[in-house]
Amino acid sequence: MIKIAIVEDNPALRASLVSLFDRTEGMRCVASLSNLLNVISEVGSALPDIILMDIGLPNISGIEGVRTVKTHFPAIQILMFTVFDDDEKIFDAIRAGASGYLLKKTPPDEIVQAVRELSLGGAPMTSSIARRVIQSFQAAPATLVEDYRLTVRENEILYSLVDGLSYKKIAGKYCVSISTIRTHICNIYNKLHVNSKAQAVARVLGPRKRG
């Protein structure tokens, strides 16, 4: 059972998301919040596996909420769910610790699929968002290899993670075992001095100017 918390200030949308997850097999909404004022106590009580987080929230922004949640509950995965599709919001959310990024126009079945992908180790993103992140990587491929001493295969696997592929799908893509992929990813994390997919993306995007 995937336990999900929702942080969304639009009551109608929040209610529809609660209904969507509660009627989906293998999922359950354990918290529904309109803002982040009591997020630490609410999340600590519900202990969700995944939080669906809006960005444009009252009082405290969703990006600041990501930082707060990841500081206190690093194992919880956060999927941004927002109308914002500009580079600054995308990269700020990823740097803060978000593991996925969906636009609110995403159909319900794709939202459910994204939550499942995230629970399996993927990094789901709306296709247009994923393209922007990938293009940012492609703008300086030599930097990844030269500055961080990544091998060609490690570089390929890092791209695959950014593209939202789970460990299982990456293993299938390169015809190797999941344990081999885990070893490569461990090496990538060591070279980038990070501990998660989100931090790996932030490490590479951090020095780049945002357009």
Render 6-22 in DSSP notation, one character per residue: EE-S-HHHHHHHHHHHH
Residues 16-64 pLDDT 10s = 999 999 999 999 999 999 999 999 999 999 999 999 999 999 889 999 9
Residue 209 has pLDDT above 60, yes or no: no
Average pLDDT over residues 172-194: 89
Residue 142 has pLDDT above 60, yes or no: no
Name all domains of the chain by residue range, CATH numbers in brackets.
Answer: 2-126 (3.40.50.2300), 133-205 (1.10.10.10)
Residues 178, 168 contacting (CB under 8 angstroms): yes
Q: Tell me, what's the pLDDT at 160?
A: 82
- CB within 8 Å of 83: residues ≥ 6 apart: 56, 103, 104
pTM for the predicted model, two decimal places: 0.69
Residue 27 vs residue 149, higher pLDDT: 27
Residue 112 has pLDDT above 50, yes or no: yes
Q: Tell me, what's the pLDDT at 208?
A: 46
Q: Tell me, what's the pLDDT at 143?
A: 53
